[in-house]
């Protein structure tokens, strides 16, 4: 299957051994816009890969974050939710339905020199109610 081969190659190119579990998690992230939590990823993938363990989901996500393949979106005191790294965009978190939207127009626009500070990342995070929940 082409997709598998491609994800496979992509991970390998990032210096990551492309296990079935890792490829599955990577493709799961590719095919959703829901910014799923580790628990959600596990819940959805476990029926398909019955041997999958929570620890592997966490290990894999941590690895992806470390290698800049994915990054965590922190919402309040809740569990981390994950997004593939893509061109800078802001996030909108609906406090009613808990959906996290990508806001592609708004750019967190990384570093204007903050005089003395070395800026590695910038995140712009909105919170409010989405069109469905107003």
Partner DNA sequence: ATTCTTGCAAATCATTTGCACTTTA
Partner DNA sequence: TAAAGTGCAAATGATTTGCAAGAAT
User: Per CB under 8 A, does 40 bind a copy of itself?
Assistant: no
Sites for DNA among residues 71-100 (CB under 7 A): 77-80
**Total chain residues near a copy of itself (CB under 8 A):** 31
Give, in order, the Cα–Cα distances in Å from 85 to each of 48, 58, 76, 90.
25, 17, 21, 12
Given 1, 17, 117, 121, the residue binding DNA (CB under 7 A): 17
Tell me which of a copy of itself, DNA, none is bound by residue 49, counting a contact when its beta carbon lies within the kind-specific cut-off of 5 to 8 angstroms: DNA
CB of 37 to a copy of itself, least distance (A): 12
Give dist(CA 89, CA 78) in Å, integer.
21
User: Per CB under 8 A, does 95 bind a copy of itself?
Assistant: yes
User: Per CB under 8 A, does 67 bind a copy of itself?
Assistant: no
- The C-alpha angle with vertex 124 and arms to 122 and 126, in degrees rounded to 5, equals 165
Give dist(CA 3, CA 105) in Å, integer.
28
User: Per CB under 7 A, does 1 bind DNA?
Assistant: no
Residues 6 or more apart whose Cβ sits within 8 Å of residue 45? 24, 25, 28, 52, 57
Given 7, 16, 83, 91, the residue binding DNA (CB under 7 A): 16
User: Per CB under 7 A, does 7 bind DNA?
Assistant: no
Half-sphere exposure of 6 (CA within 13 A, CB side): 5
3-state secondary structure of 5: helix
Sites for DNA among residues 20-49 (CB under 7 A): 20-22, 37-39, 49
CB of 77 to DNA, least distance (A): 5
């Amino acid at each position: 299957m082409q997709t598998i081969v491609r994800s496979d190659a992509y991970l390998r190119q990032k210096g990551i051994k492309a296990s079935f579990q890792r490829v599955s998690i990577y493709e799961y992230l590719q095919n959703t816009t829901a910014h799923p939590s580790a628990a959600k990823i596990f819940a959805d993938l476990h029926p398909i890969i019955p041997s999958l363990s929570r620890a592997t989901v966490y290990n894999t996500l941590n690895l992806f974050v470390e290698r800049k393949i994915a990054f965590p979106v922190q919402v309040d005191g809740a569990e981390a939710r994950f997004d593939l790294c893509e061109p800078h965009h802001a996030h909108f978190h609906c406090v009613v339905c808990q959906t996290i939207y990508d806001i592609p127009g708004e750019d967190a626009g990384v570093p204007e020199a903050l005089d003395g500070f070395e800026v590695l990342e910038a995140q712009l995070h909105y919170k409010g109610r989405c069109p469905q929940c107003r």
